[in-house]
Chains A and B, each alone.
Chain A
Amino acid sequence: MTSKVLSYKKYKFKQKIIPYIFLAPNLLIFTIFIIFPALIGIVYSFTDRTLFTFGNANFVGFQNYITIFNDPFFIKALWNTVGLALVTVPLMFVVSLLLAVLLKQPIKALGFYRATYYWPVMISAIVVGIIWQWILAGNYGLFNTTLQGLHNFFKSLGLVSSTFTPSPTLSDGRFAWIAVVFAILWSRAGYYMIIFLAALLSIPVSLYEAAEMDGANKFQKFRFITYPSLKAARTMVLILVTMEVFKIYPLVVTFTGGGPFRATEFTVQYIYKVAFQHYQIGQASAMSVIMLLIVTTFSGIIFFLSKRGEGQ
């Protein structure tokens, strides 16, 4: 064998392993810090491991799962989270789609509106929590002051006669829960708007022109051209919002702290408490597994529904 053939073989081999070398750092990090923890999380959920168990923990079967489903605080956090997803996901879908449609109209300063609607996306969830807590704070926050102003205005018109009573804002559980939904919408709608907007802008104008010639009205154009063209974007937005809502945590840390009386305590916050304040890694992992199952189920349903819509 000549040296040329040898070096060609070496070259061929190098060509083969090069892509794996390029992928190695990322795959290594994913494996160590994401996939491996998820797998050992499943193992932990069947053991009595605590934060300070360094050797082997004892296998306890489904004990952790029995414990957490008898834990009223976990059940409450779970319902809070599922409820939040059921309310926030459709709302975010509609709001961001409406914003995208709004910013596709031929109005002045489009770039300015697109940028400013997007801006809250860049504020950290921690600061978003501070902003909205400050607006809703006490009887004299911006929210109650505005309400009072409106009340006085209507009073001067003779429409109301009662004296103004400030809204309880965040000290009322239901109000706080709705406020969390609103804060999520406010801080994230700009992001999903851009995804929809990109899809909207890629629809060929000729489609609309043809429909116009056939005498289609605005609603028909939306129903038969715009909406079907957004299929990929719709699925993507639904999945991303679902993931986002199920892992909500930093926002509530500074906004409501999970209160009042756990009205806005969601699963991630409770998992954190159980793992790092009660040191029950086994139980926390069981909760993680349940969460993973729920997230996968929700995403699966979205995939299934969007696949089924394909035939239309």
Chain B
Amino acid sequence: MITKRFVWKVQIIATFVFLIFLVPVLYTIASAFKDMTELFSTTPTFFPKQWTLANFIHVLSIGDYTLYILNSLFVATTSTIIAIVINTMSGYALAKYKFKGATIIMIVILSTIMLPLEIFMAPIFKVITFFGMYDSLWAIIIPPAATPTGIFLMRQYLLTIPDDIIDSARIDGASEWQIFLRIIIPNAKPAIATLAIFSFMWRWNDYVWPLISIFSPKKQTLQLAIANLTGEYGTDYTSALAISVFSMIPMLLIFVTFQRSFIQGTVDSGMKG
């Protein structure tokens, strides 16, 4: 039996856990609005006594942070578009066609999860250099666009589209490309939305691909720039906190808008790329 008392107890625990997840983020955002003296005060307060935009103005006036934000936006958007096209194509092939080697290809795709870029940084760097992609934003756009998670997510979703629709289109004389563009893509919209959100988040938050592929300061992404604010001689908090808030804003907007697809997407794919 579930008693009222039990529900109240659970509600209190859930709220306590919520605070553990909320307070660190809230404190960081609030701190970004503090001026220098308050930031390093020996009697700190949680919220600023005097709210100020000074840190945000400062960080946008030094260095090229506007440029880094634009770079990150460009990379995340372009890579996401490519990811949608190629992962939907692969997902469709694996869901709706019977062909030789389908199982092997599926195993190969899934096993790439076991070969993380982080571990093979050095040879991947060599390959990027070999293809003349070093210090080009395309090095952080194209390779990560192919994700096993994306393929898996699309495949699982496309399996639910009835074969009858595809067959009747074929009888009506539609070519395979027409079927893909006119029937599969419109029917796969929910899964595509999920993939788009995930892909954008992965690329916006990415650090390791840019780290090994980008050299020119002008081509830095936001995450690289934030990481450069910390170092052996301590962290430049005035800039780091403000720029961290800039990094969280797009994610927060996407999250609030698409929260449902996000959580549903995690449920469907159960993986990350």
Taking beta carbons and an 8 Å cutoff, which residues of A are in contact with B?
A: 14-16, 18-20, 22-23, 25-27, 29-30, 32-38, 40-41, 44, 51, 99, 102-103, 105-108, 113-120, 122-127, 129-135, 137, 139-142, 145, 186, 190-191, 194-195, 197-198, 233, 236, 240, 243, 246-247, 249-250, 253-254, 257, 267-268, 271-272, 275-276, 281, 284-285, 288, 291-292, 295-296, 299
Q: How far is the CA of A115 from the CA of B256 in the complex (A)?
A: 9
CB contacts (< 8 Å) of B142 on chain A: these are 29
B266's closest neighbor in chain A, by CB? A194
- A140 and B41: CB pair below 8 A? yes
Q: How far is the CA of A192 from the CA of B108 in the complex (A)?
A: 24
CB contacts (< 8 Å) of B17 on chain A: these are 99, 102, 113, 117
What size tier do the contact residues of chain B reach?
A: 35 or more
- B46 and A142: CB pair below 8 A? yes
- Is the contact region of chain B dominated by helix, strand, or loop, or is it mixed? helix
Interface assignment of B57: CB less than 8 Å from any CB of chain A: no
- Is the contact region of chain A dominated by helix, strand, or loop, or is it mixed? helix
Q: How far is the CA of A44 from the CA of B271 in the complex (A)?
A: 31
Distance in angstroms from A190 CB to nearest chain B CB is 7
Q: A126-B226, A250-B208, A288-B120 are in contact. Are A140 and B115 (CB under 8 A)?
A: no
For A30, give its contact among B25, B89, B146, B251 (CB under 8 Å): B146
- A113 and B18: CB pair below 8 A? yes
Q: How far is the CA of A275 from the CA of B31 in the complex (A)?
A: 37
For B201, give its contact among A37, A122, A249, A281 (CB under 8 Å): A122
Q: How far is the CA of A118 from the CA of B89 in the complex (A)?
A: 30
Taking beta carbons and an 8 Å cutoff, which residues of B are in contact with A?
A: 2, 7, 10-11, 13-14, 17-18, 20-22, 24-25, 27-28, 31, 40-44, 46, 85-87, 89-90, 92-94, 97, 99, 102, 105, 108-109, 112-128, 131, 142-143, 145-146, 151, 176, 180, 201, 204-208, 211-212, 223, 226-227, 230-232, 235, 237, 240-241, 244, 247-248, 251-252, 254-255, 259, 262-263, 266-267, 270-272
For B24, give its contact among A18, A36, A135, A198 (CB under 8 Å): A135
Distance in angstroms from A114 CB to nearest chain B CB is 6
CB contacts (< 8 Å) of A115 on chain B: these are 255, 259, 263
